[in-house]
A and B are shown apart, each in its own frame.
Chain A
Amino acid sequence: MSQPDVLTRLEILADAAKYDASCASSGTTRRDSKGGRGIGSTTGSGICHAYAPDGRCISLLKLLLTNHCIFDCHYCVNRKSSNVARARFTPKEVVDLTLSFYRRNYIEGLFLSSGIVKSSNHTMEQMVEVARCLREDHDFRGYIHLKAIPEADPELVRQAGLWADRVSINVELPTEAGLARLAPDKNGTRIEGTMRRVSSDIIENKDARKHFRSAPKFAPAGQSTQMIVGADDASDADIVGKASSLYDRFRLRRVYYSAFSPIPDASAVLPLKRPPLMREHRLYQSDWLMRFYGFAPQDVQHATDDTGMLPLDIDPKLAWALRFREHFPVDVNRASKSMLLRVPGLGTRAVGAILTARRHRSLRIDDIARLTVSLKKVRPFIITTDWRPTLLTDRVDLKAQLTPPARQLELFG
Chain B
Amino acid sequence: MISAYLAPPDDFGAWRTLARTLLQTGTAPADIVWSEEGTSSTDLFSEQAAPPHAVRVDAIRVSRSFVELARTVILHRDPARLPLLYRVLWRLQTQPRLMDDPADADIVQLCILNKQVRRDIHKMRAFVRFRVLQDPDGIDRYVAWFEPDHRIERANIGFFTGRFANQRWSILTPRLSLHWDGRKLSEGPPARREDVPAEDAAEDLWLGYYRSIFNPARLKVDAMLKEMPRRYWANMPETRQIPALIAGAQRREAGMIASGASSFGGTPPTELAALADGLQACSNCPIGCNGTRAVSGEGAAGSRLMIVGEQPGDQEEVAGRPFIGPAGQVLDLHLAAAGIDRGSAYVTNAVKHFKFALRGKRRLHQSPTAGEIDICRWWLDAERSIVRPQIILALGATAARGLLGRTPSIGKERGQLLPQADGSQILITAHPSYLLRLEGESRAREEAKFRDDLAVLKRHLEPQVEKA
B254 within 8 A of A: yes
Q: Given A7-B205, A32-B165, A41-B163, do A52 and B210 touch, yes or no (CB 8 Å)? A: yes
Could you tell me if A32 and B214 are in contact, using CB atoms closer than 8 angstroms?
Answer: no
Q: Chain A residues near B216 (CB, 8 Å)?
A: 54
Residue of B nearest to A352 (CB): B102
B310 within 8 A of A: no
B173-225 residues with Cβ-Cβ distance < 8 A to A are 200, 202-206, 208-224
Could you tell me if B163 and A104 are in contact, using CB atoms closer than 8 angstroms?
Answer: no
Could you tell me if B129 and A54 are in contact, using CB atoms closer than 8 angstroms?
Answer: no
Could you tell me if B209 and A10 are in contact, using CB atoms closer than 8 angstroms?
Answer: yes
What's the nearest-Cβ distance from chain B to residue A182, in Å?
A: 8
Q: For the complex, what is the distance from the CA of A272 to the CA of B167, rounded to whole Å? A: 49
Could you tell me if A48 and B221 are in contact, using CB atoms closer than 8 angstroms?
Answer: no
A49 within 8 A of B: yes
B462 within 8 A of A: no
Could you tell me if B214 and A52 are in contact, using CB atoms closer than 8 angstroms?
Answer: yes
Which of B2-10, B12-20, B55-63, B373-381 interfaces with chain A?
A: B373-381
B436 within 8 A of A: no
Could you tell me if A104 and B129 are in contact, using CB atoms closer than 8 angstroms?
Answer: yes
Taking a contact as CB atoms closer than 8 A, the residue among A72, A80, A261, A371 that contacts B215 in the complex is A261
Convert A260-281 into 0s and 1s, putting 1 for each residue whose CB lies closer than 8 angstroms to a CB of B. 0111111111001110010000
Could you tell me if B103 and A361 are in contact, using CB atoms closer than 8 angstroms?
Answer: yes
Could you tell me if A412 and B374 are in contact, using CB atoms closer than 8 angstroms?
Answer: no
Could you tell me if B219 and A357 are in contact, using CB atoms closer than 8 angstroms?
Answer: no
Could you tell me if B406 and A103 are in contact, using CB atoms closer than 8 angstroms?
Answer: no
Q: For the complex, what is the distance from the CA of A41 to the CA of B212, rounded to whole Å? A: 26
Which of A11-19, A117-125, A218-226 interfaces with chain B?
A: A11-19
Residue of A nearest to B407 (CB): A72
Q: For the complex, what is the distance from the CA of A101 to the CA of B130, rounded to whole Å? A: 10
- How many positions in chain B have a CB within 8 Å of any CB in the partner chain? 78
Q: Chain B residues near A263 (CB, 8 Å)?
A: 256, 260
B274 within 8 A of A: no
Q: Given A55-B222, A371-B102, do A37 and B405 touch, yes or no (CB 8 Å)? A: no
Q: For the complex, what is the distance from the CA of A45 to the CA of B48, rounded to whole Å? A: 46
Which of B76-84, B245-253, B424-432 interfaces with chain A?
A: B245-253
Q: Chain B residues near A264 (CB, 8 Å)?
A: 256, 259-260
What's the nearest-Cβ distance from chain A to residue B198, in Å?
A: 15
A344-366 residues with Cβ-Cβ distance < 8 A to B are 353, 356-357, 359-361, 363
Q: Chain B residues near A33 (CB, 8 Å)?
A: 162-166
A343 within 8 A of B: no
B459 within 8 A of A: no
Q: For the complex, what is the distance from the CA of A22 to the CA of B190, rounded to whole Å? A: 39
Could you tell me if A103 and B130 are in contact, using CB atoms closer than 8 angstroms?
Answer: yes
Could you tell me if B227 and A57 are in contact, using CB atoms closer than 8 angstroms?
Answer: yes
What's the nearest-Cβ distance from chain A to residue B459, in Å?
A: 27
Taking a contact as CB atoms closer than 8 A, the residue among B126, B166, B205, B228 that contacts A36 in the complex is B166
A26 within 8 A of B: no
A-B CB contacts (within 8 Å), total count: 219
Convert B99-139 into 0s and 1s, putting 1 for each residue whose CB lies closer than 8 angstroms to a CB of A. 01111010010000000000000100111111110000000
Q: For the complex, what is the distance from the CA of A50 to the CA of B125, rounded to whole Å? A: 11
Taking a contact as CB atoms closer than 8 A, the residue among B100, B162, B222 that contacts A356 in the complex is B100
B54 within 8 A of A: no
B448 within 8 A of A: no
Q: Chain B residues near A43 (CB, 8 Å)?
A: 125, 159
What's the nearest-Cβ distance from chain B to residue A273, in Å?
A: 7
Q: Given A55-B220, A55-B224, do A265 and B214 touch, yes or no (CB 8 Å)? A: no
A100 within 8 A of B: yes
Convert B21-33 into 0s and 1s, putting 1 for each residue whose CB lies closer than 8 angstroms to a CB of A. 0000000000000
Could you tell me if B405 and A181 are in contact, using CB atoms closer than 8 angstroms?
Answer: yes
What's the nearest-Cβ distance from chain B to residue A137, in Å?
A: 14
Q: Given A50-B228, A357-B102, do A39 and B165 touch, yes or no (CB 8 Å)? A: yes
A105 within 8 A of B: yes
The 8 A-B residue pairs with the shortest CB-CB distance in the complex, in nearest-first order: A81-B370, A55-B223, A55-B220, A32-B162, A184-B406, A266-B260, A268-B374, A14-B212
Q: Residues of B with Cβ closer than 8 Å to A?
A: 97, 100-103, 105, 108, 122, 125-132, 142, 144, 159, 161-167, 200, 202-206, 208-224, 227-228, 236, 238-239, 242, 245-246, 249-250, 253-254, 256-257, 259-262, 369-371, 374-375, 377-378, 404-407
Known: A33-B164, A268-B375. 5 other contacts (CB 8 A): A43-B125, A50-B238, A267-B371, A360-B100, A361-B101
